[in-house]
Amino acid sequence: MHTISDLKVLYFGTPVVLIGSRNEDGSPNLMPMSSAWWLGDHAMLGVGNSSQTAANLARERECVLNLVPSTLVDAVDRLALLTANPAISPRRVEQGYRHERGKFAVAGLTEQAADLVKAPRVLECPVQLECVVEEAHAFGGPDGNATAFQVRVVRAHVEEELIIPGTHYVDPVGWDPLIMKFCEFFGGGSNLRPSRLAEGWQMPHQLERAGSGMLG
């Protein structure tokens, strides 16, 4: 049985990516996001224009997509309400965002140099994709509050244990990505922990039904 619903949010989410980029002063920046999809050696990234990352991608034309395993959920949550952009909108202040440039330190993650781009890799992420920006498209309706960045992967770094021996394929059984669904964290099919982002965005959340293992 289906019902017609005027859904308030259509943010179904995808695997979480930490976008590594460089600020205008050369310092590293990290932004968690879950609005990315891949086709061939290209990816499309949906980034809000109020973020420092949007400005960095437009200026530097490069980034690293660090794919996050479910084990790094706490690090991602520590980054959720941080922005390297000092100009924070009243709406974001109300949601709990604050200005922070030292994101690697706050998250407890390790900066790692890339090979072909200046943007930073995250040592703890088992999949790291160095990318160049090829196109940028206004996105988000008449307000134009986001940009869809089309990037091309120029180098992929993958933990050896995730590669199927004798191939260039990632083992889908060994890879357990962190998934964000409607601002909540999931891994291995389970809700992993409360999300600061969900709290800031005042997203309603139904707790796991006792003994069912399924979300209500």
pLDDT-derived band at 19 (thresholds 50, 70, 90) equals very high
Which distant-in-sequence residues (6+ apart) come within 8 Å of 157 by Cβ? 121, 127, 128, 129, 130
Residue 210 above 90 pLDDT?
no
| Alpha-carbon gap, residue 19 to 76, rounded angstroms | 11
Using DSSP, state whether 53 is helix, strand or coil: helix
Q: What is the pTM of this model?
A: 0.84
Average pLDDT over every residue of 7-34: 89
Instruction: Report the pLDDT value the prediction gives residue 41, as an integer from 0 to 100.
Output: 94
Question: Predicted confidence band at 214 (pLDDT cuts at 50, 70, 90)?
Answer: very low
pLDDT at 208 over 70: no
Instruction: Look at residue 66 and tell me whether its pLDDT is greater than 70.
Output: yes
pLDDT of residue 65: 98
* Residues 127 and 17 sit within 8 Å (Cβ to Cβ): no
Structure tokens at 10: 């259509």
The three-point CA angle 168-125-121 to 5° equals: 95
Which residue type occupies 196? R
| pLDDT, tens digit (0-9, with 9 covering 90-100), for 90-122 | 888 888 889 999 999 999 999 999 999 999 999
Q: Are 195 and 181 spatial neighbours (Cβ–Cβ below 8 Å)?
A: no
pLDDT at 44 over 70: yes
| pLDDT at res. 201 | 60
Around Cβ 97, how many Cβ atoms within 10 Å?
19
Tokens, residue 81: 């309400």
pLDDT at 8 over 90: no
Q: What percent of the chain has pLDDT over 90?
A: 59
More confident residue, 151 or 203: 151
pLDDT at 211 over 50: no
Rounded to the nearest integer, the mean pLDDT of the chain is: 87
Which helix (H) or strand (E) covers residue 130, if one does? strand 127-139
What is the C-alpha to C-alpha distance for residues 167 and 190, in angstroms, rounded to an integer? Answer: 30
Higher-confidence position of 95 and 53: 53
The pLDDT, as a whole number, for residue 206 is 55
Read off the pLDDT of residues 117-172 as tens digits, 9 standing for 90 and up: 999 999 999 999 999 999 999 987 666 789 999 999 999 999 999 999 999 989 98
Distance CA 138, CA 48 (A): 10
